[in-house]
Chains A and B, each alone.
Chain A
Amino acid sequence: QSVLTQPPSLSAAPGQKVTISCSGSSSNIGNNYVSWYQQFPGTAPKLLISENNKRPSGIPDRFSGSKSDTSATLGITGLQAGDEADYYCGTWDSSLSAWVFGGGTKLTVL
């Protein structure tokens, strides 16, 4: 049972927009920055979004992040076949003094 809650799976057609939610509490998302990661099978995760909404160099602006209260959202516009991957949210939990991840969302591009 993950501290952060994500939908296990989502699907959408190419070209569409999809949003992935991440729900937490005041001890984690509510008072700390959220990061988002993309992971393809058999590879290491890759940082997509840091500090709620900052994209590292090289990440397309099709990817965006936002946060409101104790929830965060990853948005992907202009969905492409190559976006089919697992997506994780993560943040610091001040009560646990630990980094926590969501359970991951498997995105399928139809």
Chain B
Amino acid sequence: EVRLVESGGGFVKPGGSLRLSCAASGFSFNNVWMSWVRQTPGKGLEWVGRLKSQPNGGPTDYAAPLKGRFIISGDASKNTLYLQMDNLQAEDTAVYFCATGTGGIKWGQGTLVTVSS
């Protein structure tokens, strides 16, 4: 059974950084697309970006507004996806989900990131 478990969320001050992890089990995400999607409290879904994890890195795509501040990486040996978030702002406060596929086939339960002073 495919299972995705996000971790690493929490409180961070504006301008700070956070790295989220997504532990995958039940499949190998080597050479498959994996995505991050976020949801602001009470609002809709926003795609963050995707990675096709390969032994020596892999292609990535990002939502234009987030490119440069957010970086997606993966460790196929650990079946884990990461989201490095820098220079966080209040508007980045959201629940962050990882998902298989580009648009989300199987989803994790999400981890809450709160950016506040």
Interface residues of A (CB under 8 A from B): 2, 35, 37, 43-47, 50, 56, 88, 90-92, 96-104
Contact = CB atoms under 8 A, between A and B. Distances in A.
Contacts of B108: 44
Given A98-B63, A99-B35, A47 B105 contact: yes
Which of B37, B61, B102, B104 gathers most chain A CB within 10 Å? B104
Contact of B102 (A45, A46, A99): A99
B105 A50 contact: yes
Contact of A37 (B46, B61, B104): B104
User: Which size class do B's interface residues fall under?
Assistant: 20 to 34
12 contacts: A44-B108, A46-B107, A47-B107, A91-B103, A92-B102, A96-B64, A98-B61, A98-B62, A99-B50, A99-B102, A104-B44, A104-B45
A99 B61 CA distance: 9
A88 B45 contact: yes
B39 to A, nearest CB: 8
A35 B49 CA distance: 17
A88 B37 CA distance: 13
B109 A45 contact: no
Given A47-B106, A90-B45, 19 more contacts: A35-B103, A37-B45, A37-B104, A44-B108, A45-B37, A45-B104, A46-B107, A47-B105, A90-B47, A92-B103, A98-B47, A98-B61, A98-B64, A99-B35, A99-B50, A100-B47, A102-B44, A103-B44, A104-B44
Majority SS at the chain A contact face:
strand
Given A101-B46, A104-B45, A44 B61 contact: no
Nearest to B65: A98
Q: Which residue among B47, B61, B64, B97 has the maximum number of chain A CB atoms within 10 Å of its CB?
A: B47
